[in-house]
Amino acid sequence: MWMLVKRDFVSVYKQTILGPLWFFIQPMLTTGMYFLVFSRMAKLSTDGIPPLLFYLSGITFWSYFQETLIRISDTFITNSHIFGKVYFPRIVIPISVVISNLVRFFIQFFLFLLVWVFYLADSTVHLQPNWNWFIIIPVLLIMMAGLALGLGMIISSLTTKYRDLRFLLTFGVQLLMFGTPIVYPLSIASETLRPYLMLNPMTALVESFRFVFLGSGAWSYAGLAYSFACMIGLLILGMLVFNKVEKKFMDTV
């Protein structure tokens, strides 16, 4: 497990000029782009929260889910050369992705905290943080990791036979992002549309994250319970499908 986590972390940035600095550069560039497009051009509301802080909060949370899901979905394809040489519990690979991406998350989370503290010290900005965030955030992070792990194992199992899913996944994740309140607050959604957005288990997690730090999101115990139930269901289904496919995947990969 440790060897795979180290490999995942080192291999991505080993031959880059800036190396781990990309952990900071990527969310900063993305936040700047969202600020120009959605705040300045589209004039979308951010519930009175400074746009840069609002977008960075969503990007910090969503990036971990997106990166983990995409990398786990390629488990069988990208590691077939390892699986064909030696046996070890295949589930170690997707779990190692979940762990290695935590390093990236915590670096970006630190960047978010710096920006958050800056605005918190600004008397003109009215933030209402929940000071129990250090207890709540780990719970939200575990639920998000569980959703990415379960869904990723299902997709990785299907891609061994249906390669088209690899091309559709990136597009599908982008669509899912716009179905999650990342660049807009849930409050601007109409009463008709809001129940459909809540069907996305990531919606309650993102809104809770914002509620804890910014005081602008929607805290919903029912929404969190629904997200938790989705996580458990996806994990169980993902494990069943993953364990079934791993026994014969070398015949199709």
Tens-place pLDDT, residues 8-65: 777 666 665 556 677 778 888 999 999 999 988 888 888 889 999 999 999 998 999 9
Q: Which two tokens stand for residue 122?
A: 């600004």
Distance (Å, whole) CA 170 – CA 149: 16
Q: How far apart are the first and last CA of the chain?
A: 23
Dihedral sign (CA 88, 92, 94, 99):
negative
Is pLDDT larger for residue 99 or for residue 245?
99
pLDDT bin (cut points 50, 70, 90) of residue 87 is confident
State both tokens at 238: 């993902």
Whether 117 has a pLDDT exceeding 60, the answer reads: yes
CA pair distance 244, 248, nearest whole angstrom: 8
pLDDT for position 110 = 92
- pLDDT for 171 equals 86
Kindly give the residue spans of alpha helices, DSSP state H, lying in the chain: 2-13, 22-34, 51-73, 75-78, 80-83, 92-120, 133-159, 164-178, 194-198, 201-214, 221-246
Q: Tens digit of pLDDT for each residue in 183-208?
A: 999 888 888 899 899 999 999 999 99
Question: How many C-beta atoms surround the C-beta of residue 224 within 10 A?
Answer: 19
Query: Is the whole model's pTM more than 0.85, yes or no?
Result: yes
Q: What is the CA radius of gyration of the chain?
A: 19
Mean pLDDT for the stretch of residues 78-82:
75
Query: pLDDT: is 161 or 237 the higher one?
Result: 237
Contact 45, 173 (CB under 8 A): no
Dist CA 87 CA 85 (whole Å): 7
pLDDT of residue 197: 92
CB 200: neighbour CB atoms within 10 A?
18
Compute the average pLDDT of residues 127-147: 90
Q: What is the pLDDT of residue 20?
A: 65
Locus of tokens 């299907």:
158
On average, the pLDDT of the chain sits at 86
Which of 62, 39, 44 is CA-nearest to residue 109?
62
pLDDT at 99 > cutoff 70: yes
Beta carbons within 8 Å of 61's beta carbon, 6+ residues apart: 140, 144, 205, 206, 209
What is the per-residue pLDDT across 142-175, written as a single tens digit (0 to 9) for each?
A: 999 999 999 999 998 888 777 777 778 888 898 8
Residue 127, pLDDT score? 86
Q: Which residue has the tokens 């070890």?
A: 88
Angle at 246 between CA 68 and CA 63, to 5 degrees: 5
Position 230 confidence tier, pLDDT thresholds 50, 70, 90: very high
Dihedral sign from CA coordinates of 115, 118, 120, 124: negative
Q: What are phi and psi of 15, to 5 degrees?
A: -105, 30
Q: What is the share, in percent, of the chain residues with pLDDT greater than 70?
A: 92
What would the mean pLDDT of 228-245 be, rounded to a whole number?
A: 93
